Amino acid sequence: MSHHIVEAQGLRYSYPDGTPALEDVSLRVEHGEAVALVGENGAGKSTLLRHFTGCLFPAAGTLRIGGLPVDKEHLAEIRRAVGMVFQNPDDQLFMPTVFEDAAFGLLNLGVAGAQLEGKVMGALETVGAAHLRSRPPYRLSQGEKRAVSIAGVLVMQPDILVMDEPTSNLDPRSRRRLIELLRTFKHTRIIATHDLDFALEVCGRTIVIHKGRVTADGPTREVFGDEKILRLSNLEQPAALRKCPACGG
């Protein structure tokens, strides 16, 4: 797979009960870009992310990742290239210890022995969770769980990192650590979030989704400067872009 490009053309999807989730979504994310997906609750962000990992397939339109169409035939390659960090770390962490959980994906790729140990510990160190290796995941704090779930994905060396609400339930310090960590990554990053300040710091580009359609796509500062677009999607300007409430400056 070459060029970690994500390209969707006229993507449509409706849930089995008939609820439309995506209606004509077209976008192209280039190699190494950090893109925020923002929108109101139920706008279709999570549904779109599920398409990127082949958990859902488009009802119409095309989706290509690294030049490969997202279909059952290419599922293994797609999932090898795309690492998904789920909104709730508890959905992702299910092995008895942190080490085993972080190793889960690598073991599925057939890595074993000293190489496995080295790669897993490397990923745990990257997220600052090496000291947790023998702990059972369900006893960790939310911030630690998030770090371990990111390590479990990083260890597979994905080309594209997809994250669903990564800052939800994090205390300010853990959130700051996550921002600093994500800034160091060179992967293509697609991050669905409601935390616009976070998006402003991490993502150079923002795509706004409203009722299953792309309503804005551009540099993050520009998009967040358009109050009309934000209001339409139940969003507010991030604090960093608002005027000072004390002096109005």
Partner 1 sequence: MGQLAQNLTDIGYMDTLAADSTPLHRLDPRAKLLTTALFIVAVVSFGKYEVSALLPFLLYPVYLAAQGRLPVGYLLKKVLLVSPFAVVVGIFNPFLDSGVLLRVGDFGVSGGWVSFASILLRFFLTVSAALLLLALTGMNSICEALLRLGVPRTFVVQLLFLNRYLFSLTAEAESMSRARALRSAGRGCMGFGVFIQILGHLLLKTLDRAERVYRAMLCRGFDGHIRVARFSNIGRPELLFCGAWTALFLVFRFVNLPVALGQAVTGLLK
Cα–Cα distance between 240 and 237 in angstroms, integer?
Answer: 8
- Contact flags string 63-82 toward partner 1, x per CB under 8 A: -------------x--xx-x
157 binds partner 1 (CB under 8 A): no
Q: What is the DSSP letter of 243?
A: P
Positions 91 through 130 that interact with partner 1 (CB under 8 A): 91-92, 94-97, 99-100, 103-105, 107-109, 112, 116
Closest of 91, 106, 200, 104 to residue 146, by C-alpha: 91
Q: How far is the CB of 68 from partner 1 (least distance, A)?
A: 16
User: Amino acid identity of 134?
Assistant: S
Tokens of 205: 């580009």
Q: Per rule CB under 8 A, is residue 86 in the interface with partner 1?
A: yes
Do 211 and 183 form a contact (C-beta atoms < 8 A)? no
User: What is the token pair recorded at 74?
Assistant: 């290419």
| 215: contact with partner 1 by CB under 8 A | no
Q: Write the DSSP string, 69-93.
A: E-SGGGHHHHHHHEEEE-SSHHHH-
Site stretch for partner 1 (CB under 8 A), options 12-20, 58-66, 88-96, 190-198: 88-96
The binding site for partner 1 (CB under 8 A) comprises: 50, 53, 55, 76, 79-80, 82-84, 86, 88, 90-92, 94-97, 99-100, 103-105, 107-109, 112, 116, 134, 136, 138-139, 152-153, 156
